[in-house]
Structure 1
Amino acid sequence: MKPTPVGIDIAKMVFQVHYVDEETGEIVNRPIKRQKFLEHFVNRSPCLIGIEACGGAHHWARELTKMGHQVKLMPAKYVKAFNIRNKNDAADARAIWLAVQQPGKPVAVKTEMQQAMLALHRMRQQLVKFRTMQINSLRGLLTEYGEVMSKGRAALDGAIPNVLARISERLPAVLVDTLREQWNGLAKLDEQIAAIERRMREWVKQDPAVKAISEIPGVGLLTATAAVATMGDAKVFRSGREFAAWAGLVPRQSGSGGKVNLHGISKRGDTYLRTLLIHGARAVLSHAKDAGPWIEEMRRRRPANVVIVALANKMARMIWAILAHDRPYQRDYVSRKPA
């Protein structure tokens, strides 16, 4: 029996539900309070439930799946195409109901462990951003008093003790003490970042998937954990090429009349994961003693940044192949289609 399609626009306290009653043909579009949301679906026959992939969507998808319903998470930009008039909860729920009945690739529902790892990544990223802001703020404030320092954390740590000693002779003590406190606060941020990375390493020891893709050159702790947590289920993607395209590591296309023009990378998908893959590829090209004939040949005929993105694309494909086929990394492995 074909499951009944249902569109749900989730929110903080009130959810909007849209479906067509199979028995009466009545179009139902009504709000449901958060406390009674799961109660509404607990005794219903299996439904095909569409939800936008936004905050809280993975939690509700897991809860509805436990009840036997089929949940399809969709990117918001795909749903937007079906909302042709005013934007409100009722119209959004109807647009989701229309979108869930269309063929398309859903967003993989993440486990709680995968979401926990992504939460660690987001908190670490925020702390790194705070640390960078603090360093730039200190350098900028000291420039106002004629003290110019080189870029980078090492340059700041090496120069700031002498700088503070010099300006303490001519500036108020309240300012000098505050600047010193802000500089000492960088060490606390370092400790918090190191603690998060230590917890990530503990997860690497427990997760065989993260351990497997960590063998790929250029895939370190951050890239491995972020890839496994962001991807969800690798089998959602049909091929490594599709995963690389989802990560935004393929050219944008434009054209008409049968002529297709290729541009820079599309930058679709997860920006954080794409950034880690590109930085990993850059590290391989900078430090690897033997990058391989494929890289050396491309270096002779392509600019450096093009080679870096091409290697990042290849790394993404290898990550998918290892996770989807459950096989270890092999340096000289050659993929061949079955005869």
Structure 2
Amino acid sequence: MQITTYGLDLAKRVMQLHWVDMETGEIHRKQLRREALLEFFANRQPGLVAMEACGSAHYWGRELRKLGHEVRLVAAQFVRPFVKANKNDAADAAAIWETVQRPDMRFVAVKSEEQQSVLALHRMREQLIKIRTMQVNQIRGLLCEFGADLPQGRQRGLKEVPDALANLEDSVSPMTLDTVRRQLKRLDELDQDIADIEKRLTLWKKDQEAVIRLMAIPGVGLLTATAIIATVGDMKSFRSGREFAAFLGLVPRQSGTGGKVRLLGISKRGDVYLRTLLTHGARAVVNFQIKNRNPWIDKLLSRRPHNVAVVAVANKMARTIWALLVKNSEYDTNHTALKAAA
């Protein structure tokens, strides 16, 4: 018995549905209000519901699974080529329906509520750091207009701000100085908010055995380990470590024709946040090895530029993470890869 495949285009209030009757071949298009969506699928036989991996897609995916339907999320970039003529809700739903039936299509795993909760903490922390950086740069720039020369670095620069304000009391209006001091208090509040989020992530880590195993990898800390577990979930959805590295955008782009393939820089596709965390961790590893005069890093840097070496280490870290999670093993500093038989 063939199950019915539905293409569902999500929106804030009005959803568009597209499906084909398996017995008659009749094409159906239907608009549903948000409050009527689950009622419609509750009265249908279990089928395959395809949606774009967009806002609220994971929520609807969980709810539809509770009703017995199979859910598949497709990246929006894979749906766009199948939109015919003008773009509208009906065309989008039809394109989703057509995309999900491609035999080689890749899908996005539906995240659990726990995964989304952890990722929400990461997103809020990331935004707070951006706001803090903007605030520090603004204070540095404004004081520079009055002749204050603050040293580079957030912590070093903020340490010199009180002395700079004291030196400017005779030349700058009190209302400006008071406002700057108020912004400094706001920076302290941002620091406290960021620290509170990190404490919550630390508490969540204690119950996650996989996170603890990942943190044994050099360059993988609390943020990287928790973000990977919350984003990926089941690592077995990736067939190899290289596929996981490609998901993070850490593999070279390819450009070729006529049998000649040219490798370019890294693709930078996939999750930007995870790629950034891994790259920063890899940079710390490379700098540490340089400081300790490790022979392997000297050999690598003699052949490749510094940033290329950092990305190569990040790629290796991604493959190591895949191996630990798929094989459910511990990190071994003395592990050596077995050479394939000739």
Identify whether the pair has TM-score above 0.5, normalized to the shorter chain.
yes
CA distances 1:114-172 after superposition (whole Å, capped 9, x unpaired):
11111000000000001000000001111111212122222222221121112221222
- Give the match's secondary structure for 2:11: coil
The corresponding residue for 1:3 is 3
Q: For residues 255 and 14 of structure 1, what CA distance do their matches in structure 2 show?
A: 43
The corresponding residue for 1:63 is 63
How far did residue 241 of structure 1 move?
A: 0.5
- Give the match's secondary structure for 1:81: helix
The corresponding residue for 2:106 is 105
The corresponding residue for 2:116 is 115
Q: For residues 331 and 111 of structure 1, what CA distance do their matches in structure 2 show?
A: 33
Does residue 39 (structure 1) correspond to residue 47 (structure 2)? The answer is no
- Give the match's secondary structure for 1:92: helix
The corresponding residue for 1:88 is 88
- Give the match's secondary structure for 2:264: strand
Contact in 1 for aligned 2:236/2:326 (Cα 8 Å): yes
The corresponding residue for 2:246 is 245
How far did residue 93 of structure 1 move?
A: 0.3
Contact in 2 for aligned 1:80/1:95 (Cα 8 Å): yes
Q: For residues 14 and 130 of structure 1, what CA distance do their matches in structure 2 show?
A: 34
The corresponding residue for 1:205 is 206
Q: For residues 245 and 325 of structure 2, what CA distance do their matches in structure 1 show?
A: 14
How far did residue 268 of structure 1 move?
A: 0.3
Of 212-221 and 153-162, more deviation after overlay is shown by 153-162
Q: RMSD value over aligned CA atoms?
A: 1.7
Of 265-274 and 101-110, more deviation after overlay is shown by 101-110
How far did residue 220 of structure 1 move?
A: 0.3
The corresponding residue for 2:324 is 322
TM-score by length of 1: 0.96
- Give the match's secondary structure for 2:73: strand
Contact in 1 for aligned 2:7/2:93 (Cα 8 Å): yes
Q: For residues 109 and 340 of structure 2, what CA distance do their matches in structure 1 show?
A: 28
How far did residue 299 of structure 1 move?
A: 2.7
**Which consecutive residues of structure 2, in runs of 5 or more, have no partner in the other structure?**
none
For residue 143 of structure 1, what is the amino acid of its counterpart? Answer: C
How far did residue 66 of structure 1 move?
A: 1.7
Does residue 14 (structure 1) correspond to residue 14 (structure 2)? The answer is yes
**Which consecutive residues of structure 1, in runs of 5 or more, have no partner in the other structure?**
none
Does residue 308 (structure 1) correspond to residue 310 (structure 2)? The answer is yes
The corresponding residue for 1:161 is 162
Q: For residues 325 and 28 of structure 1, what CA distance do their matches in structure 2 show?
A: 45
Q: For residues 284 and 307 of structure 1, what CA distance do their matches in structure 2 show?
A: 11
The corresponding residue for 2:187 is 186
Closer/same/farther in 2, CA of residues 211 and 25 from structure 1, 3 Å limit: same
How far did residue 236 of structure 1 move?
A: 1.0
The corresponding residue for 2:265 is 264
Q: For residues 294 and 177 of structure 2, what CA distance do their matches in structure 1 show?
A: 53
Q: For residues 207 and 61 of structure 1, what CA distance do their matches in structure 2 show?
A: 24
How far did residue 296 of structure 1 move?
A: 4.6
For residue 68 of structure 2, what is the amino acid of its counterpart? Answer: G
Structure 1 outlier segments of 4+, above 6 Å: 289-293
- Give the match's secondary structure for 1:191: helix
Q: For residues 36 and 293 of structure 1, what CA distance do their matches in structure 2 show?
A: 65
Q: For residues 291 and 207 of structure 1, what CA distance do their matches in structure 2 show?
A: 35
How far did residue 259 of structure 1 move?
A: 0.5
- Give the match's secondary structure for 1:105: coil
Contact in 1 for aligned 2:300/2:309 (Cα 8 Å): yes
Contact in 2 for aligned 1:18/1:29 (Cα 8 Å): yes
- Give the match's secondary structure for 1:25: coil
Closer/same/farther in 2, CA of residues 107 and 293 from structure 1, 3 Å limit: farther
Contact in 1 for aligned 2:2/2:22 (Cα 8 Å): no
What percent of counterpart residues are identical? 55
Across the two proteins, how many residue pairs are aligned to each other?
339
Pick aligned residue for 2:333 from 312, 331, 334: 331
Q: For residues 64 and 121 of structure 2, what CA distance do their matches in structure 1 show?
A: 26
Closer/same/farther in 2, CA of residues 261 and 48 from structure 1, 3 Å limit: same
CA distances 1:214-249 after superposition (whole Å, capped 9, x unpaired):
111100011101111111221111111100011000
Does residue 48 (structure 1) correspond to residue 81 (structure 2)? The answer is no
Q: For residues 135 and 335 of structure 1, what CA distance do their matches in structure 2 show?
A: 46
- Aligned positions of 1:280-295 closer than 5 A: 280-288=281-289, 295=297
- Give the match's secondary structure for 1:28: strand
- Aligned positions of 1:208-223 closer than 5 A: 208-223=209-224
